[in-house]
């Protein structure tokens, strides 16, 4: 894989930054409205590049936490526990204007006057703001809901992540619940505006949304994920107080929340789905070709075109298919590739009969992995993680698994969520690769380590670049061999199936959105090159339709990390140390792939290796949410 166009300057360094505790103490926590924003911007020092940079980093981090209170909840940042993001037109335009002001202010920092150890901080801040402002030319806000994300998915997740230790915590939850009608109204208004502009997710992907909404409002409030916390209150809260809080929540639920959510479900059924866009290609939207190219750049943090990524995908599919055929021969199976994948999809030996056994095996795999990690990593995170089932209200249309980051500040562990819906689509041969990716040494190790980097600014510790984060998750799957996994040929085939899954993504995402493939053609291609169950494949294809470009980051990032490792092994020879390599790779938190490559080239040279001066470096930074 090749990348092009280096940044104007990328310097690698040991970074300095304010700790979260120092920064939180220095900020007056209040809503980042225009008045508060202007006051903070007016206090940026007039002299000194370093002072300006630190002040701008503080403002940017505070702005993110207070403009998006849901993020603050996940991070344990105080002050926004009662609020939701303002999705009114005024709120959206205010945030756009403030981001443009932050970008303008960053341009007044003289990068050349910054100490060498601060230039990476500046480069990341500047290019993140620049990319975000460039994205404002596209009406992304008019796509607020799809079956993978949106108010019906985000609200219960945020409520679940809120602290639940004291009566005051429950007062915060109640305050948020009381503000839900406003958020629902704002969301529906955005959907209506999008519908008028013929901008919606593809109609076929919307089928489960009414059910997802209604799953939040069962007749029995005890069964609602919105009120779950009020039936699991800690004994430290007096019984009389528990009753009072619970009664308030139930009254709000019956009188307000059920009617409001029901109204939204009816709108989706009556107006939104029947009139939604029947085209599946994102490029069919107004200015869709440029918009998709932007998304590809944002997610991969490269300048690669969709066509180039498509070609790489085809090459990877051919390579992995050859390795899969070799495994089939090793098993002694009498039949072709299709017959073998049908065997893996249908033979009862590869499936559990109950959900608890499935979760138990995931936990067993996770525990086995944990004991082998010191051989590959010199530094491991302190934050623990757990394994849970994906909530029932979202499991049907959710992917195989996902990871939810924890937070030391919030006192919350990370969670590897596994899908237990339709056990006949959850084969055992995929479990080892999936656990490595979502938990350790994949997402939990990388994200928790980044959060614990006390020598970099909180803005950097909590940064998410999909190409790096998901690239690391996919690269981690290849470490399963070093961790004592994939000893069974079926599990080894499962690992290859997961690698193939991400290679297929390059082909079908670009195929559907750039090259004119139909949804059915994408499903057929996936089925012909993978052993994944058909239900999973359909869910995956629909995911690519509503999150165009996001799935490209996994394989692009993995290939770049593998390329960097191969370069280090060649340059360092017998002096290559895998533990030191991994610590260096993860030691600065998530980075755009171009910055990662430059940083690791410098590390290789610091270890005595030589890097060709003609080595290409990729361009562009991006940001995305973890799925």
Q: Give residue-wise pLDDT tens across range 277-336.
A: 999 999 999 999 999 999 999 999 999 999 999 999 999 999 999 999 999 999 999 999
pLDDT tens digits along 73-102: 999 998 889 999 999 999 999 999 999 999
In eight-state DSSP terms, residue 276 is S
Burial of 373 (0-12, 13-18, 19+ CB in 10 A): middle
Q: What is the pLDDT of residue 623?
A: 31
Give the separation between CA 410 and CA 87, rounded to whole angstroms.
25
- Of the candidates 613, 614, 1, which has an alpha carbon nearest to the alpha carbon of residue 304? 1
Confidence class of residue 362 from pLDDT cuts 50, 70 and 90? very high
Q: What is the pLDDT of residue 625?
A: 34
Averaged pLDDT for residues 147-169: 96
Cα distances (angstroms) measured from residue 38 to each of 27, 31, 148, 340: 14, 12, 36, 63
Q: What is the pLDDT of residue 613?
A: 54
Task: Tell me which of 161-165, 268-272, 562-566, 623-627 is least confident.
Answer: 623-627
Q: Does the pLDDT of residue 461 top 60, yes or no?
A: yes
Q: Does the pLDDT of residue 167 top 80, yes or no?
A: yes
Say what the alpha-carbon torsion angle 522, 523, 527, 531 is, to the nearest 10 degrees: 110
DSSP codes of every residue in 459-487: HHHT---HHHHHHHHHHHHHTTTTTT---
Q: Does the pLDDT of residue 48 top 60, yes or no?
A: yes
Q: Does the pLDDT of residue 20 top 60, yes or no?
A: no
Contact of 592 with 621, CB cutoff 8 Å: yes
CA 46 to chain centre: 37
Mean pLDDT of the chain: 91
Q: What is the pLDDT of residue 410?
A: 86
Q: Where are the domains of the chain?
A: 20-137, 151-282, 295-553
Q: Does the pLDDT of residue 27 top 70, yes or no?
A: no
Burial 493-502 (b: 16+ CB within 10 A, else e): bbbbbbbbbb
Cα distances (angstroms) measured from residue 198 to each of 73, 193, 284: 34, 9, 11
Q: How big is the CA angle at 15 (ends 377 and 576), to the nearest 5 degrees?
A: 35
Give the separation between CA 167 and CA 173, rounded to whole angstroms.
10
Reduce the DSSP state of residue 627 to 3 states and report it.
coil
Residue located via tokens 């630190």: 54
pLDDT tens digits along 427-454: 999 999 999 999 999 999 999 999 999 8
Say what the alpha-carbon torsion angle 510, 514, 520, 522 is, to the nearest 10 degrees: -20
Confidence class of residue 31 from pLDDT cuts 50, 70 and 90? low
Q: Does the pLDDT of residue 7 top 90, yes or no?
A: no
């Amino acid at each position: 894989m090749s990348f092009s166009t280096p940044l104007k300057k990328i310097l690698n360094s040991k970074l300095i930054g304010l700790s979260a505790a120092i920064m939180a103490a220095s900020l007056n926590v209040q809503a980042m409205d225009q008045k508060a924003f202007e006051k903070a911007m007016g206090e940026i020092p007039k002299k000194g590049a370093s002072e300006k940079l630190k002040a701008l980093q503080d403002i940017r981090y505070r702005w993110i936490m207070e403009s998006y209170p849901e993020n603050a909840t996940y991070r344990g940042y105080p002050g926004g526990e009662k609020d939701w993001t303002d999705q009114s037109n005024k709120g959206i335009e205010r945030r756009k204007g403030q981001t443009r002001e932050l970008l303008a202010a960053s341009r007044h920092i003289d990068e050349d006057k910054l100490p060498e150890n601060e230039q990476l901080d500046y480069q990341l801040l500047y290019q993140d703001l620049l990319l975000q402002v460039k994205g404002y030319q596209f009406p992304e806000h008019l796509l607020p809901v799809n079956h993978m994300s949106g108010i019906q998915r985000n609200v219960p997740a945020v409520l679940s992540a809120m602290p639940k230790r004291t009566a005051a915590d429950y007062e915060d939850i109640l305050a948020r619940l009381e503000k839900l009608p406003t958020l629902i109204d704002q969301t529906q208004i955005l959907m209506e505006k999008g519908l008028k502009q013929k901008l919606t997710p593809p109609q076929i992907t919307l089928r489960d949304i009414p059910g997802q909404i209604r799953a939040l409002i069962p007749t029995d409030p005890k069964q609602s994920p919105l009120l779950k916390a009020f039936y699991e209150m800690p004994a430290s809260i007096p019984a009389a107080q528990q009753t009072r809080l619970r009664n308030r929540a139930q009254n709000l639920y019956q009188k307000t929340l059920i009617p409001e959510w029901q109204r939204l479900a009816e709108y989706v059924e009556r107006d939104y789905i029947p009139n939604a866009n029947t085209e599946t290609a994102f490029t069919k939207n107004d200015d869709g070709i440029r918009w998709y190219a932007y998304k590809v750049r944002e997610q991969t943090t490269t300048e690669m075109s969709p066509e180039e990524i498509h070609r790489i995908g085809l090459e990877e599919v051919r390579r992995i298919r050859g390795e899969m055929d070799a495994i089939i021969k090793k098993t002694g199976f009498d039949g072709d590739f299709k017959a073998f994948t049908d065997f893996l999809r249908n033979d009862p030996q590869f499936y559990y009969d109950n959900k608890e056994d499935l979760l138990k095996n995931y936990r067993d795999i996770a525990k086995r992995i944990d004991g082998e990690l010191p051989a590959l990593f010199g530094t491991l995170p302190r934050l623990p993680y757990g394994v849970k089932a994906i909530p029932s209200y979202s499991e049907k249309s959710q992917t195989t698994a996902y990871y939810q980051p924890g937070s030391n500040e919030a006192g919350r562990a990370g969670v590897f969520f596994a899908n237990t819906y339709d056990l006949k689509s959850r084969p055992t041969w995929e479990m080892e690769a999936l656990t490595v990716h979502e938990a350790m040494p994949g997402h939990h190790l990388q994200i928790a380590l980044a959060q614990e980097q006390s020598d970099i600014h909180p803005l950097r510790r909590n940064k998410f670049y999909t190409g790096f984060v998901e690239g690391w998750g996919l690269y981690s799957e290849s470490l399963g061999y070093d961790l004592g996994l994939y000893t069974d040929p079926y599990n080894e085939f499962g690992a290859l199936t997961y690698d193939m899954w991400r290679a297929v993504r390059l082909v079908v995402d670009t195929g559907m959105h750039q090259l004119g493939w139909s949804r059915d053609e994408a499903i057929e291609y996936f089925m012909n090159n993978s052993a994944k169950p058909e239900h999973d494949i359909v869910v995956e294809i629909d995911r690519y339709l509503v999150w165009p470009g996001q799935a490209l980051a996994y394989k692009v990032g993995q290939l770049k990390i593998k390329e960097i490792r191969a370069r280090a092994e060649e340059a360092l020879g017998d002096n290559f140390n895998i533990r030191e390599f991994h610590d260096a790779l993860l030691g600065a938190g998530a980075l755009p792939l171009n910055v990662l490559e430059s940083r690791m080239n410098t590390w290789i040279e610091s270890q005595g290796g030589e890097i060709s001066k003609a080595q290409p470096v990729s361009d562009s930074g991006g940001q995305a949410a973890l799925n």
